[in-house]
Amino acid sequence: MSAGFAPAPWPRRLRSQDWYGGTSRDAIYHRGWLKNQGHPHDLFDGRPVIGILNTWSDLSPCNGHLRELAEKVKAGIWEAGGVPLEVPVFSASENTFRPTAMMYRNLAAMAVEETMRAQPIDGAVLLVGCDKTTPSLMMGAASTDIPSIVVTGGPMLNGWFRGERVGSGTHLWRFSEAVNAGGMSQADFLEAEQAMSRSSGSCNTMGTASTMASMAEALGMALSGNAAIPAVDARRRVMAQLSGRRIVQMVKDDLAPSHILTRAAFENAIRVNGAIGGSTNAVMHLLALAGRVGVDLTLADWDRLGRDVPTLVNLMPSGEYLMEEFFYAGGLPVVLRRLGEAGMLHRDALTVSGGPLWAEVKDAACWNDDVIRPPDRALTASGGIAVLTGNLAPRGAVVKPSAASAHLMRHRGRAVVFEDIDDYKARIADEDLDIDETCVMVLKNCGPRGYPGMSEVGNMGLPPKLLRRGVTDMIRISDARMSGTAYGTVVLHAAPEAAAGGPIAVVRDGDAIELDVDARRLHLDISEAELAERLARWRPPAAAPASGYARLFHDHVEGAETGADFDFLKGCRGREVPRDSH
């Protein structure tokens, strides 16, 4: 055992017995109903009841294979002496949810938390995959502190088009820009569409889904090696079965999220994010998750811990390869070993295995040093997310150095301002737009409250007239997020957001903006008095929604700098049913 964890005594009475145990009228009522599924009476004798919280949905294609995977989880639970019960939960798919899946992460987390606490579940397998499903289920589980293990669905196989790897999302942006620049025909773009998603699974780049799968593993919430196994590889199903076996023992030991999700675990995950060239979205999700377990994680931690971390994983969007090759090269255990050897890992951090992280990864072999680079051949020497501050983002903004252009990391340019995403769409292709490659594009009102939901529009496409001239990158600044599959010198999450009256709201066309990533500085070059006067005259761009979930979201979502959780959902409320009338 690790980090001071002492397993609970076994046997003992589990919470599911509050529903199923004994001979009372209520126990007969609860058991009796479940028996209509054909369960023998002895299944209710006090053995662990495991909820398989499944984010399968036909409208979440990244998670479309999770019902089959659930069968392997069930097999593992039966083998270990538990009782598996599959439970569908809110599936916030990246593909379909509008205005953005991020608007529903907290709703999903809230639904999962209540689903777990309100029902006879002693432990949970979190069956996830697409971007928001992984953090939302971890957040919900963390707020109940019921033993839980993450099983991700795994990435899709490599896409291929005319001899070239096609990365999910990354090539959507590349091909789209090539069409806008006149270097690719629309017909070829449509043909490439067929090559993008050639198997079950989540995005095959180191986008947000792969990043969050890696975060779950680095945090210790998934079994070692889980993150990279392709969705259709038989070893993915083995992983599901082993995780089913493991959760039963976790329940017996009462190995709960609060034992695993410690500050050390979050620090490990932040460093791993730098080493894998992970998504900026991980910043939001880990801050929110930390808030659920009372770990005081801040943007400053992200900057401090990521500063010296080399990017080792050569995957799109920062590098060349895709998740399939990452798996063949040895996957995340190799990254963890290399970080541990470099003194960048809390080796004693506890995982769902019941032991220290280091025991799982210390012997991990690397089978391809070009895919998982040794530190002396890193893709980027300082690959962690950089956190910028300055009068343009007093509470912080982030940029991903491994996906940015070196020549733009220190730059002063003239602002070209778009008031919101509709303004951007209306004018970006205007041949008369007064813009060149030295300008700084600014997009407002796309933050948590402004969009609403904080959409992934921060990597706004460049003006077609500049693309045609061969311009491939420009500085873009917004209060939005960016897809983990995207790239460019893109400053995101500027806080406070425009819709909350942050300074980004009052930037005007022609203002000078200075970016200095090394100095962690983002500066709007106007006088303090001028900035104060503009802010005093600022008015909210739109009224709050009148009712419904949109109103709840508007009134309670916090800023990007703390992870955009709801203020009333922070913290762990435990596993006890607040008022049980039975």
Q: Measured from the CB atom, is 207 or 277 closer to ligand FES?
A: 207
Q: ∠ CA(361), CA(363), CA(364), 5° rounding? A: 65
Residues 565, 551: Cα–Cα separation, whole Å: 15
Based on its alpha-carbon atoms, the radius of gyration of the chain, rounded to whole angstroms, reads: 24
Q: Measured from the CB atom, is 203 or 313 closer to ligand FES?
A: 203
CA 411, chain centre distance (Å): 29
- Three-state SS annotation for 391-435: CCCCCEEEECHHHCCHHHCEEEEEEEEECCHHHHHHHCCCCCCCC
Two structure tokens written together for 452: 């609403």
Least CB distance to ligand FES at residue 94 (A): 4
Two structure tokens written together for 301: 């931690």
Residues 515, 308: Cα–Cα separation, whole Å: 20
Residue type, 538: W
Q: Measured from the CB atom, is 21 or 201 closer to ligand FES?
A: 201
Residue owning tokens 């998670």: 63
Least CB distance to ligand FES at residue 290 (A): 23
3-state helix, strand, coil in the chain (%, to 5): 40, 15, 45
The residues, ordered by sequence, that sit 6+ positions from 117 with a Cβ below 8 Å of its Cβ are 144, 146, 573, 574, 575, 576, 577
Least CB distance to ligand FES at residue 19 (A): 35
Least CB distance to ligand FES at residue 481 (A): 14
Q: Measured from the CB atom, is 84 or 207 closer to ligand FES?
A: 207
Q: Measured from the CB atom, is 153 or 354 closer to ligand FES?
A: 153
Q: Measured from the CB atom, is 180 or 202 closer to ligand FES?
A: 202
Least CB distance to ligand FES at residue 576 (A): 34
Q: ∠ CA(124), CA(128), CA(129), 5° rounding? A: 165
Q: Measured from the CB atom, is 181 or 203 closer to ligand FES?
A: 203
Q: Measured from the CB atom, is 209 or 522 closer to ligand FES?
A: 209
CA 431 to each of CA 181, 459, 464, 533: distance values in angstroms, whole numbers, following the listed order: 13, 20, 8, 33
Least CB distance to ligand FES at residue 385 (A): 19
Residue owning tokens 């993915």: 236
Least CB distance to ligand FES at residue 516 (A): 32
Q: Is 295 in contact with 574 (CB distance < 8 Å)?
A: no
Neighbours of 28 (CB within 10 A): 13
Two structure tokens written together for 133: 């499903």
Least CB distance to ligand FES at residue 95 (A): 5
Residues 520, 390: Cα–Cα separation, whole Å: 8
The residues, ordered by sequence, that sit 6+ positions from 537 with a Cβ below 8 Å of its Cβ are none
Q: Measured from the CB atom, is 103 or 366 closer to ligand FES?
A: 103
Q: Measured from the CB atom, is 3 or 222 closer to ligand FES?
A: 222
Two structure tokens written together for 408: 């733009």
Q: Measured from the CB atom, is 91 or 489 closer to ligand FES?
A: 91
Which residue in 407, 266, 375, 225 sits closest to 311, CA to CA? 375
Least CB distance to ligand FES at residue 231 (A): 10
Which residue in 181, 186, 222, 228 sits closest to 203, CA to CA? 228
Least CB distance to ligand FES at residue 133 (A): 8
Residues 342, 374: Cα–Cα separation, whole Å: 10
Sign of the dihedral defined by the CA atoms of residues 463, 466, 470, 471, in that order:
negative
Least CB distance to ligand FES at residue 527 (A): 44
Neighbours of 433 (CB within 10 A): 15
Residue owning tokens 């948590």: 448
Least CB distance to ligand FES at residue 63 (A): 8
Two structure tokens written together for 553: 């979201």
Which residue in 428, 427, 447 sits closest to 504, CA to CA? 447
Least CB distance to ligand FES at residue 566 (A): 23
Least CB distance to ligand FES at residue 570 (A): 26
Q: Measured from the CB atom, is 99 or 374 closer to ligand FES?
A: 99
Q: Residue 403 has what DSSP assignment?
A: G
Q: Residue 545 has what DSSP assignment?
A: P
Least CB distance to ligand FES at residue 383 (A): 21
Q: Measured from the CB atom, is 54 or 144 closer to ligand FES?
A: 54
Q: Is 171 helix (H, G, I), strand (E, B) or coil?
A: helix
Q: Measured from the CB atom, is 62 or 251 closer to ligand FES?
A: 62
List residues near ligand FES by CB under 6 A.
62, 94-95, 130-131, 168, 202-203, 207, 209
Q: Measured from the CB atom, is 172 or 264 closer to ligand FES?
A: 172
Backbone angles phi, psi at 53, to 5 degrees: -85, 105
Alpha helices in 162-262 (DSSP H): 170-181, 186-196, 208-219, 234-253, 257-260
